[in-house]
Amino acid sequence: MLKFYTATLYSLSGALLLSLFFSSHAYAERAYISDKLTIPIRSGHTSAHRIKKYLNSGTSIEITGASEDGEWSSVSALGTNGWVRNQYIQNTPTAHIILMGTQKELATLKVTSVTQRQKLKALTSERDTLRKQHGKLTKTQASTNQEFNELKQLSANAIRIDKANSELIKQNQLMKVDMEQLKVERDKFKSDNFNKGLQLGAGILIIGFLIGFLIKSKGNKRTSTW
């Protein structure tokens, strides 16, 4: 009879352990240790059970089951499995965790703010540099436009000068032709005048010779009369 009772007890214990094992995996929930300095995690769901470990406030735990009276929860935390009173458990992070998270977010925001300010400063500096470059480019463009207009004017003047030069060359060539023609006419005129002079001189000589001959003839006649 004792053996049967013992075997039955072992069977029930095994079934209970299996039930707890499977129920713990089916009933897994995230929770946190409340704002108490430390709480004990016990080997069973009574205050008489052995303390296996102390958990600090804010420790994240995994709830794997619950006691029949609803006052204890089976938990897994920091590699230890045990039981913790429900009064020490809450579903939301503790104020300390929230504060730490807020401080971390604040620090991140500060870093982000500093980074953003640095980026803004860099962008402002880049904008100022681009403005200066734009001003220089505007002045350069204005100067280039002025030089281009001057070159256009010079080009137009050069075209006019080239046309005028071509016209002068043409007129000069015509004048050379006229001068050559005038020279020919002058030489011809000189030649004609020279010939006429010779003819006139010869005529004068002939006339003088005749006059002298006549006068001499009359003189001879008078001499013979005497």
Q: Among residues of the chain, what percentage have pLDDT more than 90?
A: 15
The C-alpha atoms of residue 77 and residue 60 are separated, in whole angstroms, by 7
The C-alpha atoms of residue 34 and residue 76 are separated, in whole angstroms, by 16
For residue 182, give the amino acid letter: L
Question: At residue 220, does pLDDT exceed 90?
Answer: no
- What CA–CA distances, in Å, run from 193 to 188, 200, 201? 8, 10, 12
Q: Among residues of the chain, what percentage have pLDDT more than 70?
A: 78
The C-alpha atoms of residue 191 and residue 209 are separated, in whole angstroms, by 26
Average pLDDT in the 63-68 region? 91
Model pTM?
0.35
Question: At residue 112, does pLDDT exceed 50?
Answer: yes
Average pLDDT in the 157-169 region? 84
Please count the other Cβ atoms lying within 10 Å of the Cβ belonging to residue 71.
Answer: 13
Instruction: Kindly report the average pLDDT of the chain as a whole number.
Output: 77
Average pLDDT in the 145-156 region? 85
Strands 80-85 and 29-33: unpaired
What's the token pair of residue 222? Answer: 């008078």
CA dihedral (158, 161, 167, 168) positive or negative = negative
Provide the pLDDT confidence category of residue 21 given band limits of 50, 70 and 90. very low
Provide the pLDDT confidence category of residue 102 given band limits of 50, 70 and 90. confident
Is 96 in contact with 38 (CB distance < 8 Å)? no
Spell out a b/e string for 187-208, using b for 16 or more CB atoms within 10 Å of the CB, else e. Answer: eeeeeeeeeeeeeeeeeeeeee
The C-alpha atoms of residue 226 and residue 223 are separated, in whole angstroms, by 5
Contacts of 75 (CB under 8 A, 6+ apart): 31, 41, 61, 62, 63, 64, 81, 82, 83, 84, 89
* Four-point Cα dihedral 127, 128, 133, 135, nearest 10: 110
Torsion region of 114: left, alpha or beta (phi above 0 gives left; psi -120 to 50 gives alpha): alpha
The C-alpha atoms of residue 116 and residue 104 are separated, in whole angstroms, by 18
